[in-house]
Chains A and B, each alone.
Chain A
């Protein structure tokens, strides 16, 4: 008869959430790959990745906000990918709306382009939570694309009386929606996030000279149904 985890002792090795390598038991002090906290690790990846106990138990929103407030990463797609690998972020869902906006704000801060304080990240997350599940279909507006607009609006301090700042936010959302609409369906939140962040990165490069790694992103979440597979520009076999 097959033994279950309830019948056998806990395994001593688990796969790293960040890179899937086998993590081994540890008693070294490690730094959390999400929030940056240092603590004595129970499991550590051979490449140094570690997820602290608090981040393992976090809600999606806590995780996104904490990570984006502390990360030193400048590429918003790398920030988003790290977040999307955590079990708190499901394959599809409204979590992708606010992780897009928070990742962009963190990137802008780390590039030295804008002074983004933690309250800005909290406010962006609160706004980006508003589009409901399925807003892409119900509103004709994907929440990840709206997240781009929210991030730039916060950074540029746009309001209804603004001129260029408001136009930039609207244009970036429009461009993100255009790219997502061209992908076709069914919806894929991962692809929507990648496309929206590509729009954001392109703008940051053209407007502010930001430098990012070149190359077409490869989706690390493929084949989870309903995957677009070869119809998706980020699919790789």
Chain B
């Protein structure tokens, strides 16, 4: 099995989060290879996607120490601190392709953690084998935090390994900054990041029978990362309040129809299609089918309905059209011109 190995990182922590999400989205959109991304961040407090910044980090301490505060879009994981002593190992994989013999998440997580566990063991650090999505721990002290996220059929797992992380800085930046350790502390000498990196790559290749292809970010990934940085990861809305944009494009149109679609549902889909034909660069359309999910194929992880559409579904408002998170049409069939007018109003805002 061939896998891409990517070592790219930005000095900007928020851009690194954008890159990680771009890799995931690009893989779904047809990028052919699974990726192992091995990289380092600058000083950053990384918030969990649902974390409250006020209870998670000491903002004043972060500001005075020039620690960036960024939020990760991973649903499983906790707030953590990173610096150039931390080594990040990110897997972006098609779970079924990588592990054709199991669909157990627990099993997949255990296997993906094994290379890191093995490398630490080879240094004389006995790491407890983690439960699903749990951190790697040495006698109760966290040595690597884990983050898990799903997007369609893809699994994103990141292990942030404290090789020489500054634990004092961590204690100042995070409100719950104790209970951590580093590889260097555990073996009582400075462990070099490059050595851990090299050992990890060898261990991954051995465990999963992969041949690595060293490649940089693709043009699609660079474009996606730039866009994600612009609309999400560089913004306080996201980093401090956890408010994610609805779409990578400027406007999201969600259409909620019956399953199978009735005549009026088909007409709405056609009218929305006509209204958005010349706006495809700026407008994303998603069609949700009642009881059957996105495009009638279930509800893919990482692709939620907007709150307005969820409410419309609960109230059995079908068909419905939601434009940028606001219910625009309910139960009637708007003309293409009417839909276009709503979209243009949304674009102007």
Q: Which residues of A pack against B, CB within 8 Å?
A: 1-2, 4-6, 10-11, 14, 17, 23, 42-43, 51, 53, 56-60, 86-88
Expressed in whole angstroms, the Cα–Cα distance for A81 and B266 within the complex equals 28
Interface of B is mostly: loop
Smallest distance from the beta carbon of A90 to chain B beta carbons, Å?
8
Expressed in whole angstroms, the Cα–Cα distance for A83 and B287 within the complex equals 24
Smallest distance from the beta carbon of A117 to chain B beta carbons, Å?
26
Indicate if B273 sits at the interface (CB-CB under 8 A): yes
B292 contacts A5, C-beta separation under 8 Å = no
Q: Do A10 and B266 form a contact, CB below 8 Å, given A4-B287, A58-B316?
A: yes
For residue A42, which residues in chain B have a CB less than 8 angstroms away from its CB?
260, 262-263
For residue A23, which residues in chain B have a CB less than 8 angstroms away from its CB?
260
Expressed in whole angstroms, the Cα–Cα distance for A17 and B316 within the complex equals 17
Picked from B29, B261, B315, the residue with its CB within 8 Å of the CB of A2 is: B29
- Interface mask (B80-119 → A, CB under 8 Å = 1, otherwise 0): 0000000000000000000000000000000000000000
Q: Which residues of B pack against A, CB within 8 Å?
A: 28-30, 255, 258-264, 266, 269, 272-273, 276, 284-287, 290-292, 294-296, 315-316, 318-319, 331
Expressed in whole angstroms, the Cα–Cα distance for A60 and B318 within the complex equals 12
Across the interface, name the chain A residue whose C-beta is closest to B284.
Answer: A6
Q: Do A11 and B287 form a contact, CB below 8 Å, given A2-B28, A2-B29, A42-B260?
A: no
For residue B255, which residues in chain A have a CB less than 8 angstroms away from its CB?
6
A57 contacts B318, C-beta separation under 8 Å = yes
A59 contacts B29, C-beta separation under 8 Å = no
B291 contacts A87, C-beta separation under 8 Å = yes
Q: Can you pick out 27 interface pairs between chain A and chain B where the beta carbons lie within 8 Å of each other?
A: A1-B29, A1-B30, A2-B28, A2-B30, A4-B287, A5-B287, A5-B296, A6-B255, A6-B269, A6-B272, A6-B273, A6-B284, A14-B296, A42-B263, A53-B258, A53-B263, A56-B258, A56-B262, A56-B290, A57-B318, A60-B316, A87-B258, A87-B259, A87-B290, A87-B292, A88-B290, A88-B316
Expressed in whole angstroms, the Cα–Cα distance for A17 and B287 within the complex equals 19
Smallest distance from the beta carbon of B305 to chain A beta carbons, Å?
14
For residue B319, which residues in chain A have a CB less than 8 angstroms away from its CB?
57
For residue B269, which residues in chain A have a CB less than 8 angstroms away from its CB?
5-6, 10
Smallest distance from the beta carbon of A22 to chain B beta carbons, Å?
11
For residue B30, which residues in chain A have a CB less than 8 angstroms away from its CB?
1-2
Expressed in whole angstroms, the Cα–Cα distance for A43 and B266 within the complex equals 13
B259 contacts A4, C-beta separation under 8 Å = no
Across the interface, name the chain B residue whose C-beta is closest to A56.
Answer: B258
Smallest distance from the beta carbon of A84 to chain B beta carbons, Å?
11
For residue A6, which residues in chain B have a CB less than 8 angstroms away from its CB?
255, 269, 272-273, 276, 284-287
For residue B290, which residues in chain A have a CB less than 8 angstroms away from its CB?
56, 87-88
Expressed in whole angstroms, the Cα–Cα distance for A4 and B286 within the complex equals 8
Across the interface, name the chain A residue whose C-beta is closest to B288.
Answer: A5
Q: Do A57 and B29 form a contact, CB below 8 Å, given A6-B286, A10-B266, A14-B296?
A: no
